[in-house]
Structure 1
Amino acid sequence: MLGRVRALQFRSRGATLRYDATGHGDPIVLVHGLSGSSRWWRHNVPALSGTHRVYVLDLAGYGQARRQRSLGVRAAADLIAAWLDHLDLRNVTLIGHSLGGHISMHVAARRPERVRVLVLACASGLLRDRLYRVALHLPRAVLTGRVTFVPRILADAARSGPLNLWRSTRDLLKDSVQDLLPGLTARTLVIWGGRDALVPPSLGRALAAAIPGARYEEIPRAGHVVMVDAPGEFNALVLDFLREGT
């Protein structure tokens, strides 16, 4: 039987994906957002791994993979898709936060035969703004979330470095998922923080409306890092959605 494994890696075309895995059952894959890391899911993994095999990724340029150059949205999606093929993961629940949700939509479009469920948490796929304006929203986005999580946000951002953060932000603002949304076939749950100051809830509602059959859920007191601000509500929404699909 599979147990807990840590600090594994997968390389493809010169890029490295780092990941940990724990639990048993159909796979759940967690993809962090901009300036994030696998540590951002620590309040979610225990609940999700009770019934699933949970893979927690560190994108190139972040977390355990921080010594690399960050990839663009579509290159990161290509790497994750190749990793899914490498492990031959099927019946995947792909959960992405912010930039990770943006990437996850591309992965679901590339591997519909592998991704059965898609969970988008405050995903950036429809965000359109100038880079400096997004930067201006960052202090408010941090302060509307869980204050005790601020040191982790700052530490992971510092480890990633300003160049990786700039490259990733510039690329996500240039990339739109609008055209691929109607073709997504995975059962989709869209979860948003009602106090998200970085990616407004109006974009979450628009995202859910554009994906066939998608469900939209909003957690009123949560901010942008919704799975940290309200982990109990977030975990319950995900697990209930998964049970409904069995």
Structure 2
Amino acid sequence: MTHPPRPPLLPPHQSAGSGRPVLLLAPAATRSAVWLLHQVPALSAAGYRALTFEHRGATAEFVPEGPVRFAELVTDAARVIQDVAGEPCHLVGSSLGALVAQRLAALRPDLVSSVTLLATRARTPLFTAALVKSVAQAARSGSVPADYAAASTMSQLFAPATLLDDRFAREWLDLMTLSPVQGEGAARQYLATLSVDEWAHELPGIDCPALVVGFPHDVLMPPELVREVADAIEGARYEEVAGCGHFGFLERPDEVNALLLDFLAKASLPH
């Protein structure tokens, strides 16, 4: 006896503010609460409805069986737009979230008003693939000492000058030691990003307004890779925020938010 396919799961989600909806998509192995620090308050204050949700694998309650396939991450985002927002959304994604946003914009233009892509890429160089696989293996094994894992992860996420700020460093060392990046869900998210090379050819099909932002000290998504995405999307606006690493939206939130709000204001105008 065959069973009908199960309907797509609705990811855990939150909403703040009112107005035109903006869906924020988090990096790999990162809870959606990361947007609550700076971006959700800024968007809400500017008159937008900020929506956040958990990628499958981000919580123990939302790790469906089998590998996390990239298409499923895109489907999850589409379901939040359809079932929660109820209308097309401006998409804001960082890292894994940016990859999901750019593919959703290519596949479902009817759901996307604009895309803002932070620290993204359209191909996977050899070293990037090796790094992704090694981080996934470490997350899966759970055997890496917590203090080493915290320091190593921070060196990949933040600019060297930022890590010289002892207060900043202490807060993040404490946070990442208490909540290490580990588990099958995190590993699957990282590995899902390796599929980007299979669908990068879709990027020229994105025809909504696009803002692409690189960070000069990003070792995971160097600006050279980020700019390639901007070059592939006709009319995309490319910006770099100085003094930032991979998580530039946390290091220089005022600068990133200013770029985002300026872009959204223009993208919301009638065309």
TM-score where L is the length of structure 1: 0.84
Structure-2 separation of matches of 1:53 and 1:88: 9
Q: Which has the larger radius of gyration?
A: 2
Summarize deviations over 1:119-148 as a string: whole Å, max 9, x none: 001024433335443447855313525634
Displacement of 1:27: 0.2
Amino acid at match of 1:140: S
Check the 8 A contact 1:187/1:214 in 2, yes or no: yes
Kindly report which structure 2 residues correspond to 1:30-179, keeping only aligned pairs within 5 A, or say none: 30-41=24-35, 42-50=37-45, 51-62=47-58, 65-69=59-63, 71-87=68-84, 89-129=86-126, 131-134=129-132, 135=134, 138=153, 140-144=155-159, 147=169, 148-153=171-176, 155-158=178-181, 161-176=182-197, 177-179=199-201
The 1:43–1:122 alpha-carbon spacing in structure 2 relative to 1, beyond 3 Å, is same
Asked if the contact 1:189/1:241 (under 8 Å) is kept, the reply is yes
Contact 1:99 1:124 in 2 (8 A): no
The separation in 2 between residues aligned to 1:38 and 1:88, in whole angstroms, is 16
- Is the helix fraction higher in 1 or 2? 2
Aligned in 2, Cα 1:220/1:88: closer, same or farther, shift over 3 Å? closer
Amino acid at match of 1:133: L
Deviates more, 1:102-111 or 1:169-178: 169-178
Q: What aligned pairs does 1:228-243 form with structure 2 within 5 A after superposition?
A: 228-243=250-265
How far apart are residue 188 of structure 1 and its match?
Answer: 0.3
Counterpart amino acid of residue 211 in structure 1? I
Alignment-mate amino acid for residue 26 of structure 1: R
Letter in 2 for 1:235: N
CA offsets, 1:45-98, max 9 Å, x none? 111112101101111111xx3333263221110122123222363341100110
C-alpha root-mean-square deviation of aligned residues, in Å? 2.3
Query: Of 204, 210, 213, which aligns to 2:226?
Result: 204
Structure 1: which 5+ residue stretches go unaligned?
1-11
2:22 counterpart (28, 31, 47): 28
Is contact 1:36–1:153 with CA below 8 Å preserved after alignment?
no
Give 2:38's aligned amino acid: H
The code of the aligned residue for 1:142 comes to: L
Instruction: Give the corresponding residue for 2:3.
Output: none
Change (3 A) 1:24 1:32: same
SS of aligned partner of 2:15: strand
- Larger % of strand: which? 1
TM-score (norm 2): 0.77
Q: Give percent identity, aligned residues only.
A: 26
Aligned-pair distance for 1:20? 0.8
**Which whole-Å CA distance do the structure 2 matches of 1:104 and 1:150 have between them?**
29
Unaligned stretches of 5+ residues in structure 2: 1-5, 136-151, 163-167
